[in-house]
Amino acid sequence: MKRKKLYIETYGCQMNVNDTEVIFSIMADAGYDRTEEISKADVILANTCSVRDNAEQRIHGRIEVFACEKKSRSGVIVGIVGCMAERLKEALLESRKVDIVAGPDSYRNLPALVEAVSPGSPQIDVMLSHEETYGDIAPVRIDKNGVSAFVSIMRGCNNVCSYCVVPYTRGAERSRDPRTIVREVCDIAVSGYKEVTLLGQNVDSYLWKSEEGTVDFADLLLMVADTAPALRVRFATSHPKDISDKLIEAMASRSNICHCIHLPVQSGSDRMLEKMRRRYTREWYLERVAKIRREMPDCSITTDVIAGFCSETEQDHKDTLSIMEEVGYDYAYMFQYSERPGTLAARNYPDDVPSEVKTRRLNEIIELQNRLSLESNRRDIGKKFTVLIEGPSKRNASELCGRASNNKMCVFPDNVHKCGDYAEVEVLSCTSATLICKLV
Q: List, for residues 253-268, the tens digit of each pLDDT value.
A: 999 999 999 999 999 9
Architecture of the structural domain at 384-439: Beta Barrel (2.40)
> What is the spatial distance between Cα 30 and Cα 22, in angstroms, rounded to a whole number?
13
Q: Please spell the DSSP secondary structure of 179-222, one letter per residue.
A: HHHHHHHHHHHHTT--EEEEE-TTGGG-EEEETTEEEEHHHHHH
Which amino acid is present at 145?
Answer: N
Q: Does the predicted TM-score (pTM) go above 0.85?
A: yes
How much is the average pLDDT of 164-177?
Answer: 94
Q: What is the pLDDT of residue 54?
A: 72
Residue 94 has a pLDDT of 73
Report the pLDDT value the prediction gives residue 1, as an integer from 0 to 100: 66
Residue 143, pLDDT score = 83
- Report d(CA 171, CA 131) in Å as an integer: 10
C-alpha separations of 115 from 30, 66, 110, 355 in Å: 10, 19, 9, 46
**Helices 178-190 & 217-227 angle (0-180, nearest 10):** 30
Cα distance between residue 262 and residue 364, in whole Å: 21
pLDDT of residue 410: 98
Q: What is the DSSP string of 62-129?
A: HHHHHHHHHHHSTT-EEEEEEHHHHHTHHHHHHTTS-SEEE-TT-GGGHHHHHHH-BTTB-EEE----
Q: Is 438 helix (H, G, I), strand (E, B) or coil?
A: strand
Q: Are strands 422-430 and 384-392 parallel, antiparallel or unpaired?
A: antiparallel
The pLDDT value given to residue 88: 78
pLDDT of residue 62 exceeding 70: yes
| DSSP output for 146-157 | SSEEEEE-EE--
- pLDDT digits 0-9 by tens, 5-30: 999 999 888 899 999 999 999 999 99
Q: What is the mean pLDDT of residues 85-108?
A: 85
d(CA 279, CA 270): 10
Nearest to 336 by CA among 354, 348, 324: 354
pLDDT greater than 70 at residue 50:
yes
- Dihedrals φ, ψ of 387, to 5°? -115, 135
Model pLDDT for residues 280-301, shown as the tens digit of each residue: 999 999 999 999 999 999 999 9
- pLDDT computed for residue 61 by the predictor: 86
Domain ranges of the chain: 4-125, 143-258, 384-439
Average pLDDT, the chain: 95
CA distance 418 to 424: 13
pLDDT at residue 400 is higher than 90: yes
For 191-243, how does the pLDDT look when each residue is reduced to its tens digit (9 = 90+)? 999 999 999 999 999 999 999 999 999 999 999 999 999 999 999 999 999 99
How does pLDDT run across 127-139, given as a tens digit for each residue? 999 999 999 999 9
Q: Determine the CATH number of domain 4-125.
A: 3.40.50.12160
**What is d(CA 403, CA 417) in angstroms, rounded to the nearest whole number?**
14
Residues 6+ apart with CB under 8 A from 349: 162, 275, 310, 311
Q: What is the mean pLDDT of residues 350-374?
A: 98
Instruction: State pLDDT tens for residues 172-185.
Output: 999 999 999 999 99
Number of Cβ within a 10 Å radius of residue 328: 14
User: Which residues have CB under 8 Å from 245's CB, separation 6+?
Assistant: 291
Looking at the domain that runs over 143-258, which CATH code has it been given?
Answer: 3.30.750.210
Buried b (16+ CB within 10 A) or exposed e, 19-57: bbbbbbbbbeeeebebbeebeebbbbbbbbbbbeeebbe
| 311 or 50, which is more confident | 311
Q: CB–CB of 44/38 below 8 Å?
A: yes
Amino acid symbol at 184:
E
φ and ψ at 364, to 5 degrees? -70, -40
User: What number is the average pLDDT over the span 426-432?
Assistant: 98
pLDDT number for residue 86:
79
